[in-house]
Amino acid sequence: MTLPDTSETRSPSAPPDPAPLFTAEGVTVRFGGLTALDDVSLAARPREVHGVIGPNGAGKTTFFNVCCGFVRPDQGTLRWRDEPVRGLHPARLAGMGIARTLQGLGLFAGLTVAENVLVGADRFRRTGFASSLFALPRAAADERSLRERADRALEEVGVASYTGRYPGSLPYPVRKRVALARALAADPELLLLDEPASGLGADDMTELGELVRGLTERMAVVLVDHHMDLVMAVCDRITVLDFGRVVAAGSPAQVRDDQAVIDAYLGEEARAGGDDD
Ligand SMILES: Nc1ncnc2c1ncn2[C@@H]1O[C@H](COP(=O)(O)OP(=O)(O)OP(=O)(O)O)[C@@H](O)[C@H]1O
């Protein structure tokens, strides 16, 4: 993958870290008797890609769901710009400046690609139902500006030629890009990506990596994924989970050489090998 190498540790003369945009502190989630997350903390900073990795069942999706407001933590605090966020709800994310893509993509089958992406831009809508109903000029101008936003997002992720198509008629990698365009149309300050590389081939994954790096000019990214090469090439910092706990955190170089990380992944391989027997 031909991406800038972000894996070196910071030099002592590097500028201080920017203040975190989004922080999870001591997050614990229990499902009945199972502790899916145990005292997990993470800080997402502007202009950085923060990766969350870990073997199967480590708690990555649960953590992502906490950040999106799908799962309410039993303990711990989420902060947005240093303010505690209580009762985070998926419907409130866009208004806060947070957008997400999901493993299941969540595209509307009955809407075209352009209409799906327009949904992402909706937080910038200024005119109400009545203006639209009576086709007032300001409603038309509003609609035009939203469409321009959606078009820019489709261009950015390279799927502008599919605007009139329906998601069901498109290959999976294209649908993934449409889902990303919808998130970008919301112009977020924080983008949460759940398994963005799943189902992609090597070329698509390289392009995705380049795209995500480019996004850091204007937003923070938290990326949950299995694909080590993508995570190592793209992330500035990585938090490694195993059995719901943070076992390592740091730059890609630090994490790669961490014995607890090696043990966690070797343990996974051993478990997978055992399953084959
Ligand atoms: N809704 C739920 N009810 C009960 N247990 C759950 C629920 N969601 C997740 N778990 C359990 O919590 C643990 C963490 O699961 P999670 O899906 O977050 O891990 P993951 O790292 O995303 O795994 P994978 O890589 O396999 O998707 C697992 O043991 C899982 O079985």
Q: What sign does the CA torsion over 176, 179, 184, 188 have?
A: negative
- Percent of the chain whose predicted confidence (pLDDT) is above 90: 40
Q: Kindly give, in sequence order, each residue whose CB lies less than 8 Å from that of residue 112, ignoring residues fewer than 6 positions away.
A: 163, 164, 165, 166
Domains and CATH numbers, the chain: 18-97+188-277 (3.40.50.300), 109-187 (no CATH)
Q: What is the CA(233)–ligand 1 centre distance, in A?
A: 26
pTM: 0.84
**Residue whose CA lies nearest to ligand 1 atom number 28:** 57
| Whole-number Å distance between alpha carbons of 121 and 144 | 11
Averaged pLDDT, 216-225: 93
Q: What is the CA(182)–ligand 1 centre distance, in A?
A: 26
Q: Two tokens at 178?
A: 């449409």
3-state class (DSSP) for residue 242: strand
Q: Kindly give, in sequence order, each residue whose CB lies less than 8 Å from that of residue 251, ignoring residues fewer than 6 positions away.
A: 6, 7, 8, 9, 10, 236, 237, 238
| Whole-number Å distance between alpha carbons of 166 and 89 | 28
7 pLDDT higher than 90: no
| pLDDT at 272 (0 to 100) | 67
pLDDT higher for 277 or 264?
264
φ and ψ of 49, to 5 deg: -105, 125
Mean pLDDT of the chain: 84
| pLDDT at 109 (0 to 100) | 85
3-state class (DSSP) for residue 273: helix
Residues in contact with ligand 1 (CB, 6 Å cut-off): 31, 34, 36, 54, 56-62
Q: What is the pLDDT of residues 135-164, one digit of tens each?
A: 655 666 667 777 888 889 999 999 889 988
